Amino acid sequence: MSETGNASAIADAVGKAEGGIEIQRQEALLKTGALQNAILTSANFSIIATDEKGIIQLFNIGAERMLGYLAADVLNKITPADISDPQEVIARAQDLSEELATTIKPGFEAMVFKASRAIEDIYELTYIRKDGSRFPAVVSVTALRDDQNTIIGYLLIGTDNTVRKQVEAEQEKLDQLLRDQQFYTRSLIESSIDALMTTDPLGIISDVNQQMVALTGHARDELIGTPFKNYFTDPARAEAAIKLVLSEKKVTDYELTARTQTGEETVVSYNAATFYDRDGKLQGVFAAARDITERKRLDQVLQDKNSELESARLVAEKANLAKSEFLSSMSHELRTPLNAILGFAQLLEAGSPPPTAAQIVRLHQIIKAGWYLLELINQILDLAVIESGKLSLSREPVSLIDVMRECQAMIEPQAQQRNIHINFLPFDNTWFAHADRTRVKQVLINLLTNAIKYNREHGTVEVKCTASTSERIRISIKDSGAGLPPEKLAQLFQPFNRLGQEAGTEEGTGIGLVVTKQLVELMGGSIGVESTVGAGSEFWVELIQDVTPQLAAGNTMAAELVPQAQGSAALRTLLYVEDNPANLMLVKQIIEGHPHMRMLSAGDGNLGMALARAHLPDVILMDINLPGISGFQVLKILREYPETARIPVLAISANAMPRDIAKGLKAGFFRYLTKPIKVHEFMEALDRALELAETGVDGAVMPGPS
């Protein structure tokens, strides 16, 4: 090939090579342009470029979105200082002036001063959006220079710092809460009255409070890192406490004695439990030691006091028993002469020929005084039994209408004598109270008697029964008497307080209402009174309502029983075992009015048994307190003989306490009559016993009410 051809070929090759290089350069420029365009159009960064004086020349899409301005709003018009918090710009100028020891004016100069000196500058400021809202931003400032290193402008790249600020604020709150919680927890630990400590699983102390410092006499730093057991009089027992906690997970009321450096000892109650980290790994033992020195002293004092109280209780029980025995004995001794007084007075009143008018007046006074004395005895005994806590109640469904009818029959004659009108208002006849029938009757009779006794002449008494609640029934007794002022109402239920009536014409003991109140409360009820001076008083009793039992058809109040004449019946034999001649004479004179009866008598139990076996009487009357052998022993022996085993035996005794009556009926007496006897009640019981004897049924298995 010629030289000319070679040159041409070389030129072509060079041209192709240069063309390839140009293509690569153009491709690189395109990539660089695309990258620059991507940066400028990024929505995540605000890119602001200014000239050397700070006038904005470039405002990218990210800046538009963050600040709310369009590029046309700011280009060649304002500086970045105009969209920044002016106070922060002023503060930055002051800070830089101090830092760099030169005067820097507030405004754009303060924002780019470091960058203009080729110092890397990234700082926080607050941008102000077009709508006036603010947001924190992190701004990186760079000076733009030409080939001669002359500043031709500035580039400010900013990111929205709101989220980071929020995170930092939340973290600060959490840090503060943690500090507060730590302070609170430590305050609780230090404010505890107990000595608190933590140990590792080996019993080495890891933390204590000031109470532990005071208990041991060692500073906190001296205690931490030392064995727990070192600060107690019995180290082995203290170490065993740690081991016990580790095995049982907790220990309570474990007694130890702490000892200070000076030898002072304190008895403590040690309570502890194991504690764990969040992964459930055992960390150690948390323990609390409470000073129980004073408690131990008080326990000893209490123990001593309990011993004293127990001794006092035994003395009181003996005294109470002695009082009960005295009251029982007093009751017997008083009832015995009363039996003769009232019995013979009743016989004289019903005797033949009948007494004169003057004699009747005197007999009535004797009988009235006798029954009043008996009432006094009964009320005193009732009060004594209630206060001793030995009163036995038989709680059952009690028909209030039946009890009210009985009370009406008993109280109306007394009201008629005093020209008092009693109005028993109708009420639901299906109402039943959960109470003791005898005690309910006793309560109502007492209240009705008072309503008559303290009423005015030709006065009224109104009795009504209502359901005060779904579970309680109220019985109200309202009188038209003088009424009571508030100061006397407050004294109404005090024993032996008659509220100034002691000098009046009405007899009374001053304990009837006390007994009434206690009986009502023992039955689970309540009692109250409302009174107006000059208008009268209204007493009310509330009792627990009971379910209505199924009553037999035709159940009505029984009429008062009277002695039944036997006509031409065969002669009946009565044996009375009694050591008191007056009581024997009384019963003998009662029997003399019944020609179909004859009476044998015995002054002691042994003679009574002999007469019973010899004559086989139809009925035996038995005193309890007999010389030599008691009525209970006589009854027991009579039951052992086949010929006397079925004879009904009636007890007639001045032992009138409820427990005496219950004991007598349980022993097998057919009836237990208390002295003074009431003639019609005595005859009723006697007639029933004679009827039983006639049927041949065992009299020991059919006890009746006293």
CA-to-CA dists, residue 627 to 578, 669, 684, angstroms: 9, 19, 28
Alpha helices in 512-580 (DSSP H): 512-522
The correct answer on CATH 3.40.50.1220 for the domain covering 572-701 is no
**Domain spanning 40-160: which superfamily?**
PAS domain (3.30.450.20)
Tokens of 234: 């019995």
CA dihedral (375, 380, 381, 386) positive or negative: positive
The architecture that CATH gives domain 392-546 is 2-Layer Sandwich (3.30)
Alpha helices in 350-470 (DSSP H): 357-388, 400-417, 437-453
The correct answer on CATH 3.30.450.20 for the domain covering 192-291 is yes
Tokens of 384: 């004594």
CA 508/CA 514 separation, integer angstroms: 13
Mean pLDDT along residues 38-65: 85
Q: Which of 575, 611, 577, 588 is nearest to 693 (CA)?
A: 575
pLDDT at position 706: 40
Per-residue pLDDT tens over the stretch 465-521: 998 888 899 999 999 888 888 877 777 776 655 455 544 555 555 567 888 888 888
Phi, psi torsion values for 544, nearest 5 degrees:
-70, 130
State how far Cα 72 lies from the chain centre.
80
Across the strands, what pairs with 147?
Answer: none
CA 351/CA 344 separation, integer angstroms: 10
pLDDT of residue 70 exceeding 80: yes
pLDDT of residue 366 exceeding 60: yes
Domains 40-160 and 192-291 are alike in CATH topology: yes
pLDDT of residue 622 exceeding 90: yes
pLDDT at position 150: 92
Q: How many CB atoms lie within 10 A of CB 463?
A: 21
**What are the residue ranges spanned by the domains of the chain?**
40-160, 192-291, 392-546, 572-701
pLDDT of residue 612 exceeding 80: yes
Q: Which of 123, 201, 197 is nearest to 157 (CA)?
A: 123
Q: Which 8-state DSSP code applies to residue 83?
A: G
pLDDT of residue 560 exceeding 50: no
Q: Is 422 helix (H, G, I), strand (E, B) or coil?
A: strand
pLDDT at position 382: 64
Between 120 and 345, whose confidence is greater?
120
CA 327/CA 321 separation, integer angstroms: 10
CB 265 within 8 A of CB 293: no
pLDDT of residue 411 exceeding 50: yes
Q: Which of 441, 450, 471, 648 is nearest to 542 (CA)?
A: 471
Q: Which helix (H) or strand (E) holds 434?
A: strand 432-435
CA-to-CA dists, residue 92 to 88, 104, 158, 383, angstroms: 6, 9, 17, 98
Q: Are strands 282-291 and 195-199 parallel, antiparallel or unpaired?
A: antiparallel
Per-residue pLDDT tens over the stretch 283-308: 889 988 888 888 888 888 888 888 88
